[in-house]
Chain A
């Protein structure tokens, strides 16, 4: 019985996790208009001050945005930008930028 519960829990959590990671790149592209000012229209930044996002690891993008949103990472620009993002937005943006080359 206990094993079965554990199994159910594992399946549930892993499916939840995959939901939160499987962003929609097209929706992310629509949302990325706000990011393009600094990170470039194709995820290539035009200023040494800001990083390229094109091809960045999806999980890293998502966790960075989450940390900016929660205040665990602080930056005047990114904190303000991440504040407006939902979990779905973050997943979509991560999917979009990681899909770029």
Chain B
């Protein structure tokens, strides 16, 4: 059994490098997903064909067929009526690239996985985690299509619940991969583990925060109240939690959705700064110290991007940067958490 796989520092580093590569590509995928959403491109491909769909339209006739198919759906008829072929090609491109990159991530994960498995480099503790990543990755593709389907209907907008699930699962898979890679290469000891628990709590909050961000994106709530720090005329806008039951407002009322996202940001900022002050005053290693500073810097960047997104009426570049800013902040927070928990 000891000979079943060859465990070595070198193997761990190799696998960690592969996992980090996957995480980097997924980071890019989350960026591309944000752009696809922000350019209203997501409903341009009205069919789902996991294998043959990778072949792009190669001739003018192919494009005509695809455009005609799109024209059968409510988004064209109700919103994009009269759209030109070149405009269609533009929105098609983002959705197509998003799907191609999705398949590519599958390969970047699967091929090395099989190689490491056959060369017995995967430890028995690691194997179930990698298999779970593979399953979650497959689910993410299905979830993407499940989301798109919700917009190919009479009211041509994808459900904010499905959009949030698709974004949430992406961030979850990303975090899981980063954490697993850290387990292989980030060995620490003697760090104040209580702070590790606090940092893990912060990581959890940031994950929840990305979900509330998904709701903002899914309802286009970011276009409302392009003012900061006030929302329109007041800090606490009229019409909060007015649906019945009241909790439904947190998911479906635009005013409440944006208000909650703002309040959640203030909460995270206060907790994260407090945590950092305590951590930097404690006896932590210089590596963790760098992690804490990075986390703080990314917090400032992320809040600035969020405010800019609102105030400048959701420019694509700013809003997409805000989406991946969350993932970058999560990465720094996960690194700090992992380091302080003394996992090895």
A-B complex is real = yes
* B-side interface size class: 20 to 34
Contact A80 B255 (CB under 8 A): yes
**Which residues of A (32-52) have their CB < 8 Å from a CB of B?**
33-34, 36-38, 41, 46-49
Q: Does A7 contact B (CB under 8 A)?
A: no
Pairwise interchain contact B226-A80, C-beta atoms closer than 8 A: no
For chain B residues 179-234, which have a beta carbon within 8 Å of chain A? 219-220, 222-227, 232-233
Provide 29 A-B residue pairs closer than 8 Å at the C-beta atoms, listed in order of the A residue.
A33-B226, A33-B227, A34-B225, A34-B226, A34-B227, A36-B226, A37-B222, A37-B224, A37-B313, A37-B314, A38-B223, A41-B313, A47-B40, A49-B40, A76-B252, A76-B253, A76-B254, A77-B219, A77-B220, A80-B239, A80-B253, A80-B255, A81-B224, A81-B254, A83-B255, A84-B232, A84-B233, A84-B237, A84-B239
16 more CB-based (< 8 A) A-B contacts, given A37-B222, A81-B254, A84-B239: A33-B232, A34-B224, A34-B226, A36-B313, A37-B224, A37-B314, A38-B224, A49-B40, A76-B252, A76-B253, A77-B219, A81-B224, A83-B238, A83-B239, A84-B232, A84-B238
- Whose C-beta in chain A lies nearest to the C-beta of B156? A49
* Residues on B facing A (Cβ under 8 Å): 40, 79-80, 83, 219-220, 222-227, 232-233, 237-239, 242, 252-255, 313-314
Q: Which of B80, B237, B313 contacts A48 (CB 8 A)?
A: B80
Interface size on A, residues (CB 8 A): 16
- A80 and B224 in contact (CB under 8 A), knowing A36-B313, A47-B40, A48-B80? yes
Chain B residues whose C-beta falls within 8 Å of the C-beta of A83 in the assembled complex: 238-239, 242, 255
Which of B222, B224, B253, B255: most chain A Cβ within 10 A? Answer: B224
A36 to B237, CA, bound (A): 17
- Which B residues touch A80, using CB under 8 A? 224, 239, 253-255
**Is A77 within 8 A of B223, CB to CB?**
yes
Shortest CB-to-CB span from B207 to chain A, Å, is 26
B233 CB to closest chain A CB (Å) equals: 8
Q: How far is the CA of A63 from the CA of B40 in the complex (A)?
A: 30
Cβ contact within 8 Å between A77 and B227: no
A35 to B233, CA, bound (A): 12
- Contacting residues, chain B, for A81 (C-beta < 8 A): 224, 254
The smallest C-beta distance from A93 to any residue of chain B, in angstroms, reads 13
A81 to chain B: closest residue by CB: B224
- B223: nearest residue on chain A (CB-CB)? A37
Contact with B along A42-86 (1 / 0, CB 8 A): 000011110000000000000000000000000011001101100
Residue of A nearest to B254 (CB): A80
Closest to A83 in B: B239
Q: Chain B residue with minimal CB distance to A40?
A: B313
Residue of B nearest to A49 (CB): B79
A79 to B124, alpha carbons, bound, how many Å? Answer: 56
Is B219 a contact partner of A76 (Cβ separation < 8 A)?
yes
Assembled-state Cα–Cα distance A76/B255 (Å): 10
- A38, A41, A80: residue with the most chain B Cβ atoms closer than 10 Å: A80
